[in-house]
Amino acid sequence: MTSEEHSIPAPYAGRPWFMVNEAVAFVVELAALAALAWWGFATGGGVAGRLLLGVGAPVVAAVVWGMFAAPRARFRPPLVGVLVVKAVVLGCGVYAVHAVGHSVGAVFFGVVVVVNTGLAETFRRRAAPESAV
């Protein structure tokens, strides 16, 4: 996919609900990174382990996301591959919230992730044929 394919599709430009969903997607991505950091700092053994996991987990997730799932990703796998990367990274964020003892928060976060990602991909796929004309 090119960067143009991740710009606002023409039928959704100016639609507040589309823009809100895109903003929520960005917040969800940041929340997943924050959850991974929280988990790492809470889980690691000793200062070195906490620093390694607290910094390393979100950095690894951000690098993987940037390489395969970001709008300007270096490598652009087919849609299934992008969705797998998103599921793994965001799913790890959901698990991290659960692992630090917030099961209800994890369920809420998981629902937001699934609904937001589903809506975002649906909006983008519906607009693709129309914007290609």
Q: Please give the tally of structural domains in the chain.
A: 1
98 Cα distance to chain centroid? 17
In this structure, is residue 116 part of a structural domain? yes
Q: What is the DSSP letter of 100?
A: T
In this structure, is residue 67 part of a structural domain? yes
Place of tokens 């990367």: 85
Span 27-73, pLDDT tens digits: 999 999 999 999 999 998 899 999 999 999 999 999 999 999 988 88
Q: Would you place residue 131 in the very low, low, confident or very high pLDDT band (cuts 50, 70, 90)?
A: very low
Q: Is the pTM of this model over 0.85?
A: no
How far apart are alpha carbons 12 and 15 in whole angstroms? Answer: 5
In this structure, is residue 64 part of a structural domain? yes
pLDDT at 133 exceeding the cut of 60: no
Enclosing domain of residue 50:
16-128
Asked if 28 and 91 count as a contact pair (C-beta separation under 8 A), the reply is no
Q: What is the DSSP letter of 13?
A: T
How far apart are alpha carbons 57 and 40 in whole angstroms? Answer: 7
110 token code pair = 């998981």
In this structure, is residue 99 part of a structural domain? yes
In this structure, is residue 69 part of a structural domain? yes
In this structure, is residue 7 part of a structural domain? no
> What's the pLDDT at 11?
56
In this structure, is residue 1 part of a structural domain? no
Span 15-35, pLDDT tens digits: 777 888 889 999 999 999 999
How far apart are alpha carbons 57 and 65 in whole angstroms? Answer: 12
In this structure, is residue 4 part of a structural domain? no
Helix axis angle for 46-68 and 16-43, nearest 10°, is 150
